[in-house]
Structure 1
């Protein structure tokens, strides 16, 4: 790994040098690509936005499924991809799962894309 890259057990990039500061290693590129690929789907990007902007910063899966003209298993698949990329976490409460954006997910991504000040 290159720079200060740390990968958590879910495979999400914890912190890293900006892409313009030094060439990215193959391993780092693969991890970043997985996160950006998860966000690259319009449904997943909307899900991420819906969760992040929902009251209290978390949303029940029951609040998310009615927004889309997709089946519940398809929504669950998209949520799984976001979860595996380290962008969201889920907590079961009774019958429902409540999702929230990982607290530092957007900060990690913006740090990767930030141009270092000179």
Structure 2
């Protein structure tokens, strides 16, 4: 799943907690990359808890739950409520197939091609 703001894809995580953050936008789970988290106001675009106002929401099994106060509500299932996909800007980084091949090489201990 890419970053909802810039379209960057997650890479293989290092050890420890992921620097990416989760949020909910139009009742759908989204991710926020570390670069977008550095920008002011990134959390303003996300849905907020109607009970406490927190943006620390997660969407799972058809429910949206606040991680701050525990308030839970049913997610809207309308297709028009789905957030617009982000078009990633063209970059010099390798495509998805090259990233997958590199990850397999690392896991299987093969030398890079």
Q: Quickly name the TM-score band, shorter chain normalised.
A: under 0.3
Higher relative contact order (CA 8 A, sep 6+): 1
Per the normalisation by structure 1, the TM-score is 0.21
**Structure whose residues are more often helix by fraction:** 1
Per the normalisation by structure 2, the TM-score is 0.22
